[in-house]
Amino acid sequence: MSDKKLIGFIGVGVMGGPMARRLLEAGHALLVFDRSEAATSALASLGATVAASIKEVVDSASVVFTSLPSPAILTEVALGNGGIAEGTAVKVLVDLSTVGSQTQKAVAAGLLAHDIQTVDAPVSGGAAGAAKGTLTIMVAGQAGAVAQVTPLLERLGKIFPVGAEAGQAQLLKLLNNMLSSTAFAITSEAYVAGIRGGLDPEIMMSVFNAGSGKNGATMDKFPKFVLPATYDFGFPIASVCKDIGLAVDECQALGLPMWVGTTVRTLWNMAAMADGKKRDMTELVKYVEHWSSEDRLPD
């Protein structure tokens, strides 16, 4: 495979997997690495080459994508032993993770010392959006690096340029996720109150969406995943907790008291502590139902 056409992809799990698949389907040659053999084998069956290590990826591809679950893991993958910074081929890192601005800035500075540019490109839209190529992608980075990877990012969703400094896209992504998780939390409480009061759930959502209570939860997550009781939006409660925790920290660092944000963070963390870390975020409504009754925890 030609190095000019080869793309590296590190982290091909819930979000990274479908994004990598989108690039494969567009005809790009992919070299992938993940600790999960199941994740890489699924892509290998579609034509991707599986690397034995991160070092193999960054010694082979000039553009490398990462989609990783936490700030600590991104830092280790980027700057640790055998990491991206030691690559002999990589020139641009496109980070699709949600890790916060401080981690992204530190990673970008560390990589720049090795002449590797960072494109800060967190995504919003869940696993379904990743599979369909309808993600919202916030992008920050130097113009040349951003221009180089824009055709690849356009395969994944709609791009929103944020700025030239790595970390700016992270801040915007966290603010977006905080709004989304807050909307779902308060909609869950309104929904349970309505059910307790004998209201029809379909009529409730119709009225909310025709009135001033309309939000992303009432328009999308409740009609598609809560009312049909599928609870399979594709984003776990643990990830919501991580994102809103990072968002509150970022906002407090900017001087905001975050009265609402800290309360919503507590609600999501309570669901995670109750046994919900791996549950889909749409199952939060089950915890609200439980907390308002003497019923057992959600099935």
Q: For residue 135, list its beta bridge partners.
A: 157
Amino acid at site 220: D
The residues, ordered by sequence, that sit 6+ positions from 162 with a Cβ below 8 Å of its Cβ are 120, 138, 139, 140, 168, 169, 172
d(C-alpha 38, C-alpha 176), whole Å: 31
Q: For residue 9, give the H/E element and its range.
A: strand 6-10
Taking the CA atoms of 140, 146, 150 and 153 in sequence, report the sign of the dihedral they define.
negative
Residue 30 gets the label, from left (phi > 0), alpha (psi -120 to 50) or beta, of beta
Q: Tell me the angle at which helices 168-196 and 101-112 cross, rounded to the nearest 10 degrees.
A: 160
**Distance from C-alpha of 8 to C-alpha of 24, rounded to nearest angstrom:** 11
Encoded tokens for 227: 């009312």
Active site residue 158: no
β-strand partners of 136: 124, 158
144 to 21, 101, 172: CA distances (angstroms) = 25, 21, 22
Catalytic residue among 4, 173, 221, 286: 173
Specify whether the backbone of 167 is left (phi greater than 0), alpha (psi in -120 to 50) or beta: left
- Number of alpha helices (DSSP H) and beta strands (DSSP E) in the chain: 13, 9
Question: What is the chain's length?
Answer: 299
Dihedral Cα 164, 170, 176, 177, nearest 10 deg: 170
Which residues are tagged catalytic?
173
